[in-house]
């Protein structure tokens, strides 16, 4: 619709670099490319909540019409989100949450449910009996709190399942590689490692493999990303036993943002579907997700070609103008 208003969406991302965040960003950009009246500008806080607050202010000062925020830590980011909300600036919270309901909309999965599903699956996998080590995400991030709480709640119903220890792997493999050897030495009888994401689960597998324990210990992760070394790939290769799907929500966040900007009806809570990816369903999921990935790459290629064509058209018009009028 050529009559439609121009909108600028500001996106405040908590951390960059990992494939899950890259996939989120690509999803957003792909969705934005369908709407010529939408511009997306983003800032990355590199896991620093103070920097994230500063960047949110910069985006507001740049005149964005709406903000999408993935809060690094729940407590420090809450006041600024409440402030924007009270001022009437629309805010879509994506993936990680704040501690209040003062936001325009939320897009993401329910991490409490993910924790519960992990606990339930672990109980089945260990046949009701075994010792579990938990590797958590960064403290202060809402998925860490919820993936832990849901898990603890769920295994409380299985007296044979014991959470023997836990540590923060801060979402990244490198911290697991550093800390896990000491944990294995302390607890030689671990049956399963539940990691809050697949990158940490892969790190745990690598450490256990070094110690010759990779057959004895089972591994569960979260994310279930498509593509090489993503969770789906890791389950299919038998490196980890299962992963809980955690969709990035990039496209959905843009769609929700657009509905808010256009003053169309929208839901405040947009809870994305999750599921257990295990050896029983991983093959068909892999086939599907590979197909989706290749279609997404086709869309990106087509968008680039369209842009080239539009640039060419623009240049030709300038040449024509010069020829006719000068």
Phi and psi at 7, nearest 5°, equal -125, 140
Among 171, 194, 219, 266, binds ligand FRU (CB under 6 A): 171
Max CA-CA distance within the chain? 86
Among 246, 266, 274, 285, binds ligand FRU (CB under 6 A): 246
Choose the binding region for ligand FRU from 26-34, 136-144, 173-181, 255-263 (rule: CB under 6 A). Answer: 136-144
Among 27, 90, 143, 224, binds ligand FRU (CB under 6 A): 143
Q: Give the interface size with ligand FRU as a residue count (CB under 6 A).
A: 14
Which string of x and - marks every residue 89-118 that binds ligand FRU (by CB under 6 A)? ------xx----------------------
CA distance 34 to 296: 13
Which residue, 90 or 249, is less far from ligand FRU as judged by CB? Answer: 249
159 touches 120 (CB < 8 A): no
- Least spacing, CB of residue 17 vs ligand FRU, in Å: 8
29 touches 231 (CB < 8 A): no
How far CA 184 is from CA of 58, 88, 187, 262, in Å, comes to 45, 51, 5, 54
Q: Is 15 in the site for ligand FRU (CB under 6 A)?
A: yes
Pick from 197, 169, 171: nearest CA to 181: 169
246 touches 109 (CB < 8 A): yes
- Least spacing, CB of residue 95 vs ligand FRU, in Å: 5
Q: Which structure tokens are listed for 154? A: 């769920």
Q: Is 52 in the site for ligand FRU (CB under 6 A)?
A: no
For binding to ligand FRU (CB under 6 A), which residues are involved?
15, 18, 20-21, 95-96, 137, 141, 143, 171, 197, 222-223, 246
């Amino acid at each position: 619709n050529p009559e439609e208003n121009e909108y600028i969406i500001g996106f405040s991302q908590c951390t960059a670099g990992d494939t899950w965040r890259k996939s989120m960003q690509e999803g957003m950009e792909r969705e934005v490319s369908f709407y010529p009246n939408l511009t997306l500008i983003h800032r990355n806080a590199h896991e620093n909540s103070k920097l994230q607050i500063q960047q949110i202010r910069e985006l507001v000062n740049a005149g964005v019409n709406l903000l999408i925020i993935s809060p690094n830590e729940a407590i420090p980011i809450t006041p600024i989100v409440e402030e924007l909300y009270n001022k009437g600036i629309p805010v879509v919270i994506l993936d990680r949450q704040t501690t209040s309901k003062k936001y325009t909309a939320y897009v993401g999965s329910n991490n409490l449910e993910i924790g519960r599903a992990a606990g339930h699956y672990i109980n089945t996998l260990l046949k009701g009996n075994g010792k579990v080590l938990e590797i958590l995400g960064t403290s202060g991030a809402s998925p860490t709190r919820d993936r832990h709480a849901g898990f603890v709640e769920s295994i409380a119903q299985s007296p044979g399942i014991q959470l023997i220890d836990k540590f923060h792997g801060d979402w990244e493999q490198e911290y697991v590689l550093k800390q896990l050897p000491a944990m294995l030495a302390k607890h030689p009888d671990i049956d399963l490692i539940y990691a809050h994401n697949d990158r940490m689960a892969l790190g745990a597998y690598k450490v256990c493999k070094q110690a010759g324990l990779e057959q004895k210990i089972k591994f569960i992760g979260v994310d279930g990303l498509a593509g090489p070394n993503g969770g789906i790939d890791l389950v299919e290769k038998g490196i980890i036993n299962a992963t809980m799907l955690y969709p990035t929500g990039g496209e959905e966040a843009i769609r929700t943002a657009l509905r808010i900007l256009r003053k169309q009806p929208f839901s405040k809570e947009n809870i994305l579907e999750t599921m257990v990816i295990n050896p029983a369903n991983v093959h068909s999921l892999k086939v599907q997700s590979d197909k989706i990935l290749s279609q997404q790459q086709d869309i990106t290629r087509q968008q680039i070609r369209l842009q080239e064509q539009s640039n060419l058209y623009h240049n030709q018009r300038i040449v024509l103008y010069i020829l006719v009028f000068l």
